């Protein structure tokens, strides 16, 4: 086969054959198809799409480019969760130990943040001593002993996706739903779990800005899961407003610990419990109420063991920023808007995120939200705290928030947090 023939086929709107897909993904992974050729094919896929059969085969080809993990019998059903990314989205931190406390095992292979969305590994690395990189044997042992692991993806997992992801990022093809869906699902299927719950974010702070696009992505991923024998459910959840009141690495860890101790913001608790219920359903665990388990503190005990198993000290003080400034209300009224994207960019500029994968992040940087949307405020009242170790970054953060924090005379309410559930 020749790459140009495959490109021509998709460029002209034809369906790629299984043989074409298998060949082009394998050839690109080993370097026989050049970046510019795969970029052209990715653009053709973006413009002309793929049908369900093509997407399922493309996903399988990416799985086949590497190793499928096997953790053996850990004594519990394996179930995982994936979020498409948002602002203040620390849900994995309380969710993994909660589901483990309810009787399942959670192998959560996670990533780092890029741009305005935070990364789970960056958050956990704010904990002194915590280690992200584990071997497959270490993951299996921790699943059996603790029931939950949050760690970096192993290098052998879907290497084709890692290479293609980087290419899409610089060629304007990130938005292709077939390529997004196959990217996410190839890694999750290769993890070897029994069930998967997807948290597909919708709104300004999400990758998918509209419910229609988010639903299309969710339905595509659920279909991929079904085609590969992986029980998959997706929740569409709101990301027009940040989740919780903390945005940033150490700030979000502290908030997650509050939730695990039976407190924390209501929206973080609500989404954690909603996702836990779906995960337990896929794992076949009945008669356990995750809301009660969370309130009891049992999940916090699992958290302590999970952190300690990876070298972290769960009782150690978290990093704090050397510089904190407040953003205050310019007038009295109702906080009508607190835009997730604006807050995410502000946190990024303060040092909580990165523009390139190789950039470092500040563990203590971020934004703390002091007032909920819909609350009445007085002129001069603090609305946000800006945390950073680089005071010169504050002006850029304030500029990012211009227009994203709106006070009006009219009452305002947040949209429902869980907007819909997609099942096979």
> How far apart are alpha carbons 372 and 407 in whole angstroms?
12
Residues belonging to the active site: 82, 161, 168, 183, 187
CB 41 within 8 A of CB 6: yes
Q: DSSP character for 260? A: H
Beta carbons within 10 angstroms of residue 23's beta carbon: 19
State the chain's maximal CA–CA distance in angstroms: 68
CB 69 within 8 A of CB 143: no
Distance of CA 332 to the CA centre of its chain: 36
CB under 8 Å, gap of 24 or more: what pairs does 134-140 form? 134/310, 136/69, 136/70, 136/71, 139/69, 139/71, 139/107, 140/71, 140/72, 140/74
Q: Which of 281, 255, 265, 279 is nearest to 107 (CA)?
A: 279
């Amino acid at each position: 086969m020749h790459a140009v023939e495959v490109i021509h086929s998709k460029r002209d709107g034809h369906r790629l054959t299984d043989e074409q897909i298998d060949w082009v993904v394998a050839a690109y992974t080993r370097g026989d198809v050049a970046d510019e050729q795969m970029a052209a094919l990715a653009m053709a896929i973006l413009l002309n799409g793929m049908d369900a059969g093509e997407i399922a085969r493309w996903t399988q080809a990416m799985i086949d480019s590497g190793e499928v993990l096997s953790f053996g019998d850990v004594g519990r059903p394996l179930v995982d969760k994936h979020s498409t990314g948002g602002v203040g989205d620390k849900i994995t931190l309380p969710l993994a130990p909660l589901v483990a406390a309810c009787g399942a095992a959670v192998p959560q292979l996670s990533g780092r943040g890029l741009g305005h969305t935070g990364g789970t590994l960056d958050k956990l690395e704010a904990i002194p001593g915590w280690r992200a990189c584990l071997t497959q044997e270490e993951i299996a042992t921790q699943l059996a002993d603790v029931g939950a692991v949050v760690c970096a993806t192993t290098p052998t997992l879907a290497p084709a996706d890692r290479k293609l992801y980087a290419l899409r990022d610089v060629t304007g093809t990130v938005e292709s739903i077939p390529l997004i869906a196959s990217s996410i699902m190839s890694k999750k299927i290769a993890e070897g779990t029994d069930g998967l719950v997807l948290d597909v974010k919708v709104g300004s702070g999400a990758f998918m800005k509209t419910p229609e696009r988010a639903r299309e992505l969710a339905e595509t991923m659920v279909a991929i899961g079904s085609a590969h024998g992986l029980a998959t459910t997706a929740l569409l959840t709101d990301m027009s407003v940040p989740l919780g009141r903390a945005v940033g690495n150490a700030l979000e860890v502290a908030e997650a610990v509050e939730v695990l101790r039976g407190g924390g913001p209501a929206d973080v608790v609500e989404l954690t419990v909603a996702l836990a219920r779906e995960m337990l359903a896929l794992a076949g665990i009945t008669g356990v109420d995750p809301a009660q388990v969370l309130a009891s503190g049992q999940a916090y005990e699992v958290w302590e063991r999970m952190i300690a198993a990876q070298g972290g000290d769960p009782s150690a003080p978290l990093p704090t920023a050397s510089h904190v400034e407040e953003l205050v209300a310019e007038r009295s009224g109702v906080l009508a808007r607190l835009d997730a994207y604006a807050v995410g960019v502000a946190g990024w500029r303060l040092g909580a995120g990165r523009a390139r994968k190789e950039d470092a992040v500040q563990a203590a940087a971020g934004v703390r939200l002091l007032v909920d949307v819909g609350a009445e405020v007085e002129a001069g009242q603090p609305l946000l705290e800006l945390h950073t170790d680089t005071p010169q970054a504050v002006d850029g953060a304030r500029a990012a928030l211009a227009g994203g924090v709106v006070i009006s005379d009219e009452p305002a309410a947040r949209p429902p947090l869980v907007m819909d559930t997609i099942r096979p």
